[in-house]
Structure 1
Amino acid sequence: MYTHSFMQAAATATDLHHAGLLAVGEQCTIHPSSVFWPQDMTGKLRPIVLGDRVVIGAGAVVHGGVRLGSDARIGHRAIVGEPEYGYAVRNVYVGAAAETVIGSGVVLRAGAVLYAGVTVGDDSTLGHHVLLRTGVTVGSSSQLAANLTVERGARIGSGVRCSPGSHITADTVIADRVFLGAGVRTVNDKELIWRDPAHEQPLRPPHFEYGCRVGSGVVVMAGITVGARALVGAGAVVTRNVAPDAVVYGVPARTAATR
């Protein structure tokens, strides 16, 4: 219904609703400065769906393929469903949209950025300036604090707490009920070879098992598993697997009995 040249500019909610590209539930609140952009960089149009009582703040941008559950709140200047474009993690992205599902009761605070293909479960909260890259999944009732970066394909479970300023590398797995302190750094590449297909090795993301706790400032190296209910002390550098229920600390991290 819209021409390609028209869709190069963002459309208003009223325009898209009349065109069948925006479905709006009951009692939604949409700030007049928010932007709906259903066309991706390949020219494909995808509808946007808002559940009942959704709130969208000033300057927020919602892309095609986004589905917001009932009572979701999108903060000022948040971006939801951004298509990935350019080179990243050994792939070239063409700016294609994908289904982006934000569950009921989810809160995205001001400045959060969620790329296309992200899924966030019911009642989770994402803090100011959280960045979720393409294909990230977050379970229900999780809290991701401000200035957290989660790279492509990472999987975060339910009831997870991630404190501010941490970096979760691509394809990391964080199971249910995990607690990560502030400024945690994860690594998924042992070779540090970039854009050299003849020598690049498969990425080896870390894995955080059920209920483990990782203190602030910890570095977790590539391929490491932190076992269920384990505790990693603040400032540790984890270079080997941590057994379930173990307590480790130091550089490199060791249990008290082996230091």
Structure 2
Amino acid sequence: MNFDDLRTGSAVHQFPGVLLGHNVRIFHPHLVNLYGCAIGDDSRIGTFVEVQKGAVIGARCKVSSHSFICEGVHIDDEVFIGHGVMFTNDARPRATNDDGSPQSEADWKVELTRVKRRASIGSNATVVCGVTIGEGALVGAGAVVTRDVPDFSIVAGVPARVIGDTRQPVSKAELTA
């Protein structure tokens, strides 16, 4: 994504600090939460999506409804995010510090997550922070991704494990094994 091409779009009055590329479509903008993020050209954002500050969504992406993309997530171009996909950004989330004091934003340690070009993440998958999902990879619905996913891999399960290659045919039996 070329950040020089980003501009403030027509929805910016509802989303201060958000950088929108050209032709970004936000479905039901009054039902979407965008905070200080960047969204590339021709991307589509579904209803009830939240994208936190510092998150980046590339060009020609689709983020389906009810998904959560938090700070520290970088999504390259042409990525599909299914319905209800959740990203995390803190490997050790706690309500309080060791001394019992409430944690503040300053106490959180954001770990970066990257989704490479043309990857697809199925509905209700969870992506744990600090991983990279490889180019052209496919994450099965409901999977929990706890480690890096190699380029062009198909992963499924809890925790997600490699079950195939997106460049090769896969049987229904393999997907449900």
TM range (shorter): 0.7 to 0.9
Match of 1:209 in 2: 116
Please say if residues 169 and 205 of structure 1, whose CA atoms lie closer than 8 Å, have aligned partners that are also in contact.
Answer: no
> Quick one: distance in 2 between partners of 1:205 and 1:131?
21
Please say if residues 118 and 136 of structure 2, whose CA atoms lie closer than 8 Å, have aligned partners that are also in contact.
Answer: yes
Match of 1:228 in 2: 135
Match of 1:240 in 2: 147
Match of 1:200 in 2: 107
**2:84 matches 1:183:** yes
> Quick one: distance in 2 between partners of 1:228 and 1:253?
17
> Quick one: distance in 2 between partners of 1:115 and 1:140?
17
Unaligned runs of 5+ in 1: 1-99
Q: Which TM-score applies when normalising by structure 2? A: 0.78
> Quick one: distance in 2 between partners of 1:234 and 1:175?
20
Please say if residues 224 and 239 of structure 1, whose CA atoms lie closer than 8 Å, have aligned partners that are also in contact.
Answer: yes
Question: How far did 1:117 drift?
Answer: 1.4
Please say if residues 177 and 212 of structure 1, whose CA atoms lie closer than 8 Å, have aligned partners that are also in contact.
Answer: yes
- Report the number of matched residues: 150
Please say if residues 89 and 128 of structure 2, whose CA atoms lie closer than 8 Å, have aligned partners that are also in contact.
Answer: yes
Please say if residues 113 and 132 of structure 1, whose CA atoms lie closer than 8 Å, have aligned partners that are also in contact.
Answer: no
Pick from 131, 136, 148 the counterpart of residue 33 of structure 2. Answer: 131
Question: How far did 1:113 drift?
Answer: 7.9
Q: SS at 2:22's partner residue?
A: coil
> Quick one: distance in 2 between partners of 1:113 and 1:215?
31
Q: SS at 1:256's partner residue?
A: strand
> Quick one: distance in 1 between partners of 2:21 and 2:109?
29
CA deviation string 1:17-37 (max 9, x = no partner): xxxxxxxxxxxxxxxxxxxxx
The 1:221–1:141 alpha-carbon spacing in structure 2 relative to 1, beyond 3 Å, is same
Please say if residues 113 and 130 of structure 1, whose CA atoms lie closer than 8 Å, have aligned partners that are also in contact.
Answer: no
Unaligned runs of 5+ in 2: 1-6, 96-101, 165-176
> Quick one: distance in 1 between partners of 2:141 and 2:13?
28
Alignment root-mean-square deviation, CA? 2.2
Match of 2:43 in 1: 142
**2:68 matches 1:167:** yes
**2:52 matches 1:151:** yes
Q: Which TM-score applies when normalising by structure 1? A: 0.54
Please state which structure has a larger fraction of its residues in helix: 2
Greater than 3 Å deviation, 4+ residue runs: 112-115, 193-197
Please say if residues 111 and 130 of structure 2, whose CA atoms lie closer than 8 Å, have aligned partners that are also in contact.
Answer: yes
Match of 1:118 in 2: 18
Pick from 152, 163, 171 the counterpart of residue 256 of structure 1. Answer: 163
Please say if residues 146 and 163 of structure 1, whose CA atoms lie closer than 8 Å, have aligned partners that are also in contact.
Answer: yes
> Quick one: distance in 2 between partners of 1:120 and 1:126?
10
Question: How far did 1:171 drift?
Answer: 2.5
